Structure 1
Amino acid sequence: MSPLNNPPTATPTGLPTAGEVTAHTLLNCLLREVSGPEEQAEVTGGHLLLRLPRRGVLLRVALRRTSLSGAHRFTGPVRERRDGDWAEVGWRRLAAYVQDELALRTGVRNEEFPDQLASSHRALAATLAARTPARPADEGGTGGGDRAATYLASEQSLLFGHRFHPTPKARSGDTASWLSYAPEARASFPLRHLAVRAHLIAEESAAPGATAPLDRLNPRVPDGYRTLPAHPWQYEMLRDHPALRAALGRGDVIDLGRGGPPFAATASVRTLYDGETFLKFSLNVRITNCLRKNAHYELAGAVALTRLLEPVWADLATRFPGSAMLREPAYRTLALPGPDGTPDRDLFEGLGVIVREGLAGRLMPGTTPLLAGAVADEYPTGPAHVSRLLAGAGPATAREWWAAYLRLLVPPVLAAYFDHGVVLEPHLQNVLVCVDDDGMPAQVLFRDLEGTKLLADHHARTLAALPAEVAGPLTYDARRGWDRVVYCLLVNHVADMLAAVADLHPGTERALWAQVRTTLRSHARRYGSPPPLTALLAGGPLPAKANLLTRWQRRADREAGYVRLPSPFTQLVPSTADPVRSAAR
């Protein structure tokens, strides 16, 4: 095997520049969504060659490691073929090439695209400039010590964001002001507190006492009022809303200012944590593909799913004791009447907050929860990274770690789909991996019911009982649901986690994918070899969310399409347990 494919390790020892990250993520997107599907990409001589055929540009970048899934590891600058030589091309020039190629390919122009790329680059540069060395507690590992600090460090370690999104850190608003609220800047801050006349509060609960975490934040509100916490950034944006300004003037809403315990920003930016409870706020800011607000149907949907799916969560926890779901048992918001007498939608959604239960009631004792995205990051930016968990371990131990991880992650996701008609969204930001003092996976926690959907043919009666505006967004057909499961579980999560493990021992990648296939095959037999899973094991193409094309065409995230990727299973040695592949031999 060549040195490129089997170096001692492919895990980076340093961090890239903001320009390199911006260029590399653009290449990732082009390879996955544009040049790769059009067979305009090739690995040769330790480099990826990628052509933009309509623009007439040939690009090249050096590789740290190749990947069976096509998610190669890039290093150094991107270059273009120019005048018979390879000339370095900066991220701005590359962005212009991408803009031209996509316009020619789709017939659509997007004049916002360069600004969004520039916004993402500015945020990356500001984060890298402001990033200070980790606090001692952040480097304490997982062997006891301050588990809470280690967990929080994992939530706040994603410096570079989504590898396959063209603008992973783009946020509307001033970059400098965002650092006060950004997880990658280790932001922690008190909330803004409002006192609202009780009859102007809208809330739902799935269980008695579910709103108590909100009430305890500010127990001294005046008689006849209820407390409503708000994200400080969001409140500043909404405070001049005419209806809110009028309510403040009448005394229907009282601004109590900022105070109370500090809440830390987690990886999603808008979900905050005080060590006991997660609060998911609205932020009217575009992060990646969409505005991060709690739509009215998402507020009600979170509580409805918590209530309706409790038997499902209980069944999965019993059958797979190494897994659990964090419930979202309540929401609260401001219901100020608008001109038509119904609650003003901007304020109802903009000040809506969802209560998500904390870790204490679900976490396995003696384990440290870590954000899966931090464990799988391409760069070792914090103590949760797999290179820290497996420091000094050989290939055999890495494979044991991987097998333990797959045993925890994969079965409950498949059982939710095939046994219960529930589509989980286990992407890297929605899963916590809880490790023991040796860094071995012992439990996974799933979170964020916004992405949880119900298959229409399995839950017809349940969905019919819900208001149509809530039931509609919760409903998937079987094809859409399976695509979502495969994308989130395999393409987004397993492939990236596998890549981080393979970086440690590059010669193990095929063995790691073989373990994935073995895990899936054992569950295919359990479910009677359902056709979607059988096709997956036979090497059928994998659905990957088309983030670049979605952003280019200004689609909402819920309208994002998929591209089909070649399966890494086609590059493995066929197994005699695989009747299709065996017959083909």
Structure 2
Amino acid sequence: MTTGLALDSPAAVAEGATLAALLRCTVREVAGPRGHVWHAGPYVLLRVAGDLLRARTRGGLALRFEGLPERLEDGCWRPLSADDLVRLVEGELGGGNEEFAPQVRASREAMAALLRARRETAAPADPWLASEQALVFGHPFHPSPKARGGRGSGTGNGTGNGAGNGRRGVGDDGEGDAADWLGYAPEAHARFPLRLLGVRRDLLAEQGDTAALDGLGAAPPGYAPLPVHPWQFDLLAPELAAPLADGRLLDLGHGSRPAVPTSSVRTVYEPSIDRCLKFSLDVRITNCVRKNSWYELAGAVELTSRLDPVFRRLAAEFPGTRWLPEPGYRSADLGVRLMEGLGVIIRVSPWSVCRPGVTPLLSGALAAGGHPGADVLPAAAAAAAADPVRWWRAYVERVAPPVLDAYLNHGVVLEPHLQNVLVGVDDAGMPVEAVFRDLEGTKLVAGRHDVSELPGRVADRLTYDAASGWNRVLYCLMVNHLPEVAATLAGTVPETDALLRELWAVAGEVLAGYAASRGWPRELSELLAGVPLPAKANLSVRWARSADHAAGYVPVANPLAMLS
């Protein structure tokens, strides 16, 4: 731990969160596969680059730490720092990645900046938006969850180094001016008006239902309004100069009301039209430069059309199942660079799909706090605290069966990780709905859907083979999602381990009930028998500087195995 810091200072809290995230990755992806992890309750011990480390753990697969992780030096256990662990990981992996340490450091600095900003700002009154803006520490199994590179390379593959028009954000080289990005950061409770462009109608690129965008502001005759994220507007300044000068584009100024960024940073809620808007943003956030590639723009509209009947059937089979369609996109036909850079996908808002009296909350926020919902909706926290087992059963019943049925019966791979699922709670704080979103990660199982009439690149990016699709479902649902919520619930009582076992027994009952209703398909039989689960290898992706879609998996223990 960095010395000389108050334990509750933003710098100290950011240091602890950074160390915990990197240590989880090290256990899962570095020491674990080498056979250098041992459990000696209440500790997990691991050897990295010859050094012995230990940390008190709870939470099962979620690997929550209590107290300070330590390193054995000269026969004594001494506090371990994030910088110490970075050096050990670099040594274990043989070096060769000069970006890794700056990315971890930049993520830590970003967390500290966010914590400082949150002390001076108020969360949105809307509990859904407050939950979207609650993820200060990001992905719990990522080595640099809050590193935000300035301008990406434009390749969209996560390898951008921030070179561009002179602006940069935290994440390029460990430095960066927080003023470049804090004003757009959901975790800092940001709100900002969108920039509006007018696109000459003969250059308008759009598909599907885009009428909602016309409500953002009036454009002169012969032009259509196109919203742009103001950060992206700045990043695209060199490319926009010519079309703005010759009238192909018009700068219409700013929107009339502030938009609210949601957890993904580049997707905002625009209250003036009650829509979520997913923008391109030439910034590397975790593993990817967040750009709407042309085939993703077309793919969102295509999937919306194909998934509408699927979700109708899922909602009939599993009451409370909801989704957020993406009915259209709009951009400017000014070459691929600006077509993608200005592309915006329209998404239905969660308030419009939840029934009256139901409040949508981001699952990631429910998993991140002490009691689920404590930071965003007291009723959910109170319900979870009063009867965690009952609350958990309702939660699993809403989230898991529709995801499994989408894959097994409809050949649809949903991506139900913690940022892609909203759980609707009733007035008593109990889960009654599950809302699935973000079609970028949603895929069709190849061979079960006819995509032959689609352009080749669109078809390729819309499909997974069956094995890859099942791995993605298992990772998102059984590794990323449910274990984190279970660990948060169990961590609220002294008998953490006992409650955690009870929670997984309940989850097993829910999953077995669904499996029985479907004749015990092989995939579910193996899952309930306790086969190891695939965990996405985020550290390995960052170390190799690979594209996020090339990420591999490492096997981890199945929490249902203890029930067998």
TM-score with structure 2 length normalisation?
0.89
What's 2:396 paired with? 406
Return the alpha-carbon distance in structure 2 between the equivalents of residues 211 and 570 of structure 1: 48
Q: Which of 313, 331, 334 is equivalent to 1:333?
A: 331
2:512 alignment partner, SS class: helix
2:127 maps to 1:127? no
Q: Which of 215, 220, 223 is equivalent to 2:221?
A: 223
1:261 alignment partner, SS class: coil
Give the drift of 1:167. 0.4
Return the alpha-carbon distance in structure 2 between the equivalents of residues 332 and 154 of structure 1: 28
Q: Which of 308, 311, 317 is equivalent to 1:310?
A: 308
Alignment of 1:436-475 (within 5 A): 436-459=426-449, 461=450, 463-475=451-463
- Percent identity reads 49
Q: Label 1:298 to 1:552 Cα distance change in 2 as closer, same or farther (>3 A).
A: same
What's 1:582 paired with? none
Return the alpha-carbon distance in structure 1 between the equivalents of residues 81 and 368 of structure 2: 24
What's 2:252 paired with? 256
Alignment of 1:273-288 (within 5 A): 273-275=269-271, 276-288=274-286
Which amino acid in 1 is paired with 2:523? P
Return the alpha-carbon distance in structure 2 between the equivalents of residues 168 and 548 of structure 1: 10
Which amino acid in 1 is paired with 2:264? S
What's 2:37 paired with? 41
Question: CA deviation digits over 1:533-581, x for unaligned, max 9?
Answer: 1111111000110011111111111110000112122222x4xxxxxxx
1:442 alignment partner, SS class: strand
Q: Residues 68 and 571 of structure 1 are in contact (CA less than 8 Å); yes or no, is this contact kept in structure 2? A: no
Q: Label 1:25 to 1:322 Cα distance change in 2 as closer, same or farther (>3 A).
A: same
Question: CA deviation digits over 1:270-297, x for unaligned, max 9?
Answer: 0000231100001111111111110111
Return the alpha-carbon distance in structure 2 between the equivalents of residues 413 and 501 of structure 1: 22
What's 1:580 paired with? none
Q: Which of 24, 27, 30 is equivalent to 2:23?
A: 27
What's 1:193 paired with? 196
Which amino acid in 1 is paired with 2:475? Y
1:169 alignment partner, SS class: coil
Which amino acid in 1 is paired with 2:187? E
Return the alpha-carbon distance in structure 1 between the equivalents of residues 379 and 33 of structure 2: 35
Q: Label 1:370 to 1:393 Cα distance change in 2 as closer, same or farther (>3 A).
A: closer
Q: CA RMSD in A?
A: 2.1
2:50 maps to 1:56? yes
Return the alpha-carbon distance in structure 2 between the equivalents of residues 328 and 355 of structure 1: 5
What 5-or-longer segments of structure 2 have no aligned partner? 1-6, 150-168, 170-176
Q: Residues 332 and 343 of structure 2 are in contact (CA less than 8 Å); yes or no, is this contact kept in structure 1? A: yes
TM-score with structure 1 length normalisation?
0.86
What's 2:519 paired with? 528
2:116 maps to 1:111? no
Return the alpha-carbon distance in structure 2 between the equivalents of residues 315 and 554 of structure 1: 41
Q: Label 1:284 to 1:511 Cα distance change in 2 as closer, same or farther (>3 A).
A: same
1:529 alignment partner, SS class: coil
Give the drift of 1:381. 9.9
Pairs aligned (count) = 526
Q: Residues 196 and 226 of structure 1 are in contact (CA less than 8 Å); yes or no, is this contact kept in structure 2? A: yes
Give the drift of 1:249. 1.3
What's 1:340 paired with? none
1:555 alignment partner, SS class: coil
Q: Which of 259, 265, 274 is equivalent to 1:269?
A: 265
What 5-or-longer segments of structure 1 have no aligned partner? 1-11, 139-145, 337-343, 575-585
Which amino acid in 1 is paired with 2:247? G
Which amino acid in 1 is paired with 2:462? L
Q: Which of 138, 160, 167 is equivalent to 2:144?
A: 167
Give the drift of 1:86. 1.6
Question: CA deviation digits over 1:493-514, x for unaligned, max 9?
Answer: 1111111111123131111101
Q: Label 1:319 to 1:271 Cα distance change in 2 as closer, same or farther (>3 A).
A: same
Q: Label 1:162 to 1:321 Cα distance change in 2 as closer, same or farther (>3 A).
A: same
Question: CA deviation digits over 1:216-246, x for unaligned, max 9?
Answer: 1012x111111111000001010112xx322
Q: Label 1:393 to 1:464 Cα distance change in 2 as closer, same or farther (>3 A).
A: closer
What's 2:243 paired with? 247
What's 1:483 paired with? 471
What's 1:501 paired with? 489
Q: Residues 380 and 387 of structure 1 are in contact (CA less than 8 Å); yes or no, is this contact kept in structure 2? A: no
Return the alpha-carbon distance in structure 2 between the equivalents of residues 500 and 317 of structure 1: 28
Which amino acid in 2 is paired with 1:126? A
Q: Label 1:527 to 1:472 Cα distance change in 2 as closer, same or farther (>3 A).
A: same
Which amino acid in 1 is paired with 2:43? H
Q: Label 1:368 to 1:194 Cα distance change in 2 as closer, same or farther (>3 A).
A: same
What's 1:213 paired with? 212
1:36 alignment partner, SS class: helix
Return the alpha-carbon distance in structure 2 between the equivalents of residues 539 and 444 of structure 1: 25
